[in-house]
Chain A
Amino acid sequence: MTVAPAAAPPDERMVTAGLTRRFLQRPELGAAVGALAVFVFFAAITDAFATPSGIANWLDAAAPLGIMAVAVALLMIGGEFDLSAGVMTATAGLVVATLATEYGLNVWPAFAVAIAVGLLVGFVNGIVVVRTGLPSFIVTLGMFLVLQGLNLGVTKVITGTVQVGGLDDADGYGSARALFATTVEIFGADVRVTVFWWIGVTALATYVLLRTRPGNWIFAVGGSAVAARGVGVPAARTKIALFMMVSTMAALVGTMQALRLTSVQANSGIGLEFEFIIAAVIGGCLLTGGFGSAVGAALGALIFGMAKQGIVFAGWDSDWFMLFLGLLLLIATLLNLYVRKRAEVMKR
């Protein structure tokens, strides 16, 4: 790329190298390879893993994680973290369950309230990060603790116990369950509806990231907020919108889980926030922001789900589960790194 006719390599070689390199540079590549490897591995060493019902099973495990991983990935590409996302799912579930069982509200308006709570929590996260300039890690950690306390405290005050049950007796339960929590039979296996929601969310997120203006802004704001502001990108609004999106998705997933289980534990969701981030990182998202992909995060969640259930299918001692999971994730992330390093050509 020079003005003067310097000693440049021939055109044809640049083109082919460019195409292969561009393919290898895609953030999803590592996750795709990883997912394939994990699938082949468990399909080979077990009987039930690759059957329709086995597949439905690990898809079921991956789906709620997948929806959140995609949301969190978008936020990470935008350069921020949300450690309150896990507990937010519990908060939303508790809101729906409490309103429906203790106050007799129909499930649908209760769901609307949960969404509103999600928007509010996200807005607070966003505005505090943007106004104070504090790292989002700290701000959302604070929100995590606040929500954790509220979940437990408010549930205790209202129901006297640490869980809210009996959601299946509420009005509107049937229709809500049909949309969010039921199963559909495919090839003789019961596939949960959350899987389709997951696919839809991933497709929408990919479209927004790669083919819309706000998507361009997300990459810019994560890559260099200063540069983005310099060319007139509304950096503050973009970040706040991302936080609100994550909390609202958490509200959706929390409601789905509540409808499925018909009860919500007040202390659930703790620890999930790191699973979301791990899935996003496996999927190619940089912790520093500005790079990543929604499809990659979805594949990361898939690896998680496959590994979790694969270990059970293989009959391995479940005491070693955490160790296996940790090793698997380490390998997947290193593979990611290796693939991208090979693809990068730094010009001086």
Chain B
Amino acid sequence: MTTSPTGEEPTTALVGRTPLLEVREIGKSFGNVVALDDVSMTVRPGTVTCVLGDNGAGKSTLIKILAGAHRHDRGEYLIDGEPVHLNHPREALDRGIATVYQDLALVPLMAIWRNFFLGSEPTKGWGPLRRFDVAVAKRTTRDELLAMGIDIRDPEQPVGTLSGGERQSVAIARAVYFGARVLILDEPTSALGVKQAGVVLRYIVMSRDRGLGVVFITHNPHHAYPVGDRFLILNRGHSLGDYGKAEIDRSELTRLMSGGAELDQLTHELERATVDPAG
């Protein structure tokens, strides 16, 4: 395995040490609207934590708090065991928390290697002669993507010509390369077909195996279940539970996600409605 540029040793099987990320009874309100209330979750290195819930469940508010784009109003947010209040995404990034949003922060018209190093370009020379080290950039891009299992023969390709899954993998590989310890993925498989989604899930597993803590946000339990180690289900800003893989099965997960008890009641009402007119 290659080491990340921050020089940290890769970590595996570190369950039991301080969690990388932890939120305890965290809450956030926007004016009168309670977006998130009493949510708790831990992220450990080498594990995948899935955050599930339908639209409006509060998933995006949670990620934004983790990523440093929002400040939480209640509860605690701990990084490496220490409580923090983040004011800017840059602060999260500096602590090794990388977020891959749905727009991927990739520029479609630019080549893969340019995108890979955007904002953190390697340079050689100094003063006015400081220039972009293109050779290093191209080589590193090829190598890092190869380490994730992707072989690009032509790093000059504009990112826009890649498929959705390939673009996700470039975004993930970039986050991993720049020393992310926690990788937060916002609905990476939502816009993808089955095969492409499979490809992305493979990269998630690869990142986990490199020792990162992955937070995988999705509304699809069939994508979440195969790769997740822990599952947090949100519904209308509240937590419906935080389960380990051993504690829950796929159908129970689906049931909880789609409203659980509510859905049971709704089904019951529908049955009665269809029976009555015939009776």
Residues of A bordering B, CB below 8 Å = 1-3, 11, 14-15, 18, 22, 207, 210-213, 215-217, 219-220, 223-224, 226-228, 230-233, 286, 290-291, 344-348
The answer to whether residues A231 and B118 also contact, given A1-B150, A3-B150, A290-B107 and a CB cut-off of 8 A, is yes
16 contacts between A and B (CB under 8 A): A1-B151, A1-B152, A14-B153, A14-B154, A217-B119, A219-B114, A223-B108, A223-B109, A227-B103, A227-B104, A227-B118, A228-B107, A228-B118, A230-B103, A232-B120, A290-B110
Q: Tell me, rounded to whole Å, the shortest Cβ–Cβ distance linking A234 to chain B.
A: 9
- Please report the C-alpha to C-alpha distance between residue A29 and residue B130 in the assembled complex, in whole angstroms: 29
Q: Tell me, rounded to whole Å, the shortest Cβ–Cβ distance linking A136 to chain B.
A: 19
The answer to whether residues A212 and B153 also contact, given A226-B103, A230-B105, A232-B90 and a CB cut-off of 8 A, is no
Give the B interface residue count (CB, 8 A).
Answer: 35
B192 touches A (CB below 8 Å): no
> Are B131 and A211 in contact, CB atoms less than 8 angstroms apart?
yes
> Are B123 and A346 in contact, CB atoms less than 8 angstroms apart?
no
Q: Residue of B at shortest CB range from A77? A: B109
Please tell me which stretch of B14-22, B155-163, B231-239 contacts chain A, meaning at least 4 of its Cβ atoms lie within 8 angstroms of it: B155-163
Q: Which residues of A contact B162 (CB under 8 A)?
A: 1, 347
Q: Which residues of A contact B114 (CB under 8 A)?
A: 216, 219-220
- Please report the C-alpha to C-alpha distance between residue A217 and residue B110 in the assembled complex, in whole angstroms: 11
- Additional 11 contacts, C-beta under 8 A, given A11-B153, A15-B153: A1-B153, A18-B153, A22-B154, A207-B131, A211-B132, A220-B110, A223-B110, A228-B105, A233-B118, A290-B110, A345-B161
Q: Which residues of B contact A2 (CB under 8 A)?
A: 150, 199
- Please report the C-alpha to C-alpha distance between residue A116 and residue B117 in the assembled complex, in whole angstroms: 35
Proximity bits, B132-170, A CB within 8 Å = 1, else 0? 101000000000000001111110100001110010000
Residues of B bordering A, CB below 8 Å = 90, 93, 101, 103-110, 114, 117-121, 123, 130-132, 134, 149-154, 156, 161-163, 166, 199, 202
Q: Tell me, rounded to whole Å, the shortest Cβ–Cβ distance linking B28 to chain A.
A: 21
Q: Residue of A at shortest CB range from B154? A: A18
Q: Which residues of A contact B118 (CB under 8 A)?
A: 216-217, 220, 227-228, 231, 233
Q: Which residues of B contact A15 (CB under 8 A)?
A: 153
Q: Which residues of B contact A232 (CB under 8 A)?
A: 90, 93, 119-120
> Are B163 and A347 in contact, CB atoms less than 8 angstroms apart?
yes
The 5 closest A-B pairs by CB, nearest first: A230-B105, A223-B107, A231-B119, A232-B119, A290-B109
Q: Which residues of A contact B103 (CB under 8 A)?
A: 224, 226-227, 230
Q: Which residues of A contact B199 (CB under 8 A)?
A: 2-3
The answer to whether residues A216 and B117 also contact, given A230-B101, A290-B107, A291-B109 and a CB cut-off of 8 A, is yes
